[in-house]
């Protein structure tokens, strides 16, 4: 069976940046299960996997526009330190959930002064070219429930 929209796909993968640094991997874990065509993985990798089948190996280089996007300067903001009231210690690299006009969004602290904290809501892999080394493990039809929920269930997928 070939990978197509509304198919459940199980893959093993290693994600590296252009310097060869491993950013993520399924090595030593269950394969990642996703529902193809539903935006469950980055668009560039989804395009590369279309038409592949179990046993196929794919090396894909995904540009930022088809990965986690370009840096959005609007998602980088300087806020008053008072916004972190109740947090004993703030350090560069810390992650928080911020309340925004679009709902809760993860941010990372990128800089600080005595009374200001700079936070970045961009995905940590935004503006990076991604290199995927993928092995397709399984392709199957999605169940009605998986289609209704918009994601894979079971091993490697979402558990309710």
Give CA–CA dist 100/61, Å, rounded. 32
Residue 36, classed as helix, strand or coil, is coil
Same fold, 7-68+127-149 and 73-120: no
Assess if CATH 3.10.50.40 describes domain 7-68+127-149: yes
The pLDDT of residue 94 is 94
Map out the domains of the chain as residue ranges: 7-68+127-149, 73-120
Residue 54 Cα distances to 6, 11, 16, 135, angstroms = 16, 9, 22, 8
Burial class (CB in 10 A: 0-12, 13-18, 19+), 25: middle
pLDDT tens digits, residue range 38-67?
Answer: 999 999 999 999 999 999 999 999 999 999
Give CA–CA dist 140/82, Å, rounded. 51
The pLDDT of residue 100 is 76
Give CA–CA dist 63/77, Å, rounded. 25
Give CA–CA dist 153/140, Å, rounded. 12
Residue 3, classed as helix, strand or coil, is coil
State mean pLDDT over 68-89.
91
Assess if CATH 3.40.50.1360 describes domain 73-120: no
pLDDT tens digits, residue range 95-146?
Answer: 999 887 778 889 999 999 989 999 999 999 999 999 999 999 999 999 999 9
The pLDDT of residue 101 is 74
Residue 69, classed as helix, strand or coil, is coil
Contact between residue 14 and residue 137 where contact means Cβ atoms under 8 Å apart: no
Residue 160 pLDDT exceeds 70: no
State mean pLDDT over 4-8.
97
């Amino acid at each position: 069976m070939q990978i197509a929209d509304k198919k459940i796909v199980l893959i093993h993968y290693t994600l590296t940046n252009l310097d060869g640094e491993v950013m993520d991997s399924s090595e030593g874990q269950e394969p990642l299960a996703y529902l193809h065509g539903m935006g469950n993985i980055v668009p560039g990798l989804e395009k590369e996997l279309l038409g592949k089948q179990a046993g196929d190996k794919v090396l894909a280089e995904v540009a930022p526009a088809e990965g986690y996007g370009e840096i959005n300067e609007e998602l980088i903001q300087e806020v008053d330190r008072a916004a972190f009231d109740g947090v004993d210690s703030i350090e560069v690299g810390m992650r928080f959930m911020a309340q925004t006009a679009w709902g809760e969004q993860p941010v990372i602290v990128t800089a600080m002064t005595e009374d200001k904290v700079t936070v970045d809501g961009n995905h940590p892999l935004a503006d990076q070219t991604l290199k995927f080394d993928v092995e397709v493990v399984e392709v199957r039809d999605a169940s009605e429930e998986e289609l209704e929920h918009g994601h894979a269930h079971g091993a490697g997928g979402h558990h309710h």
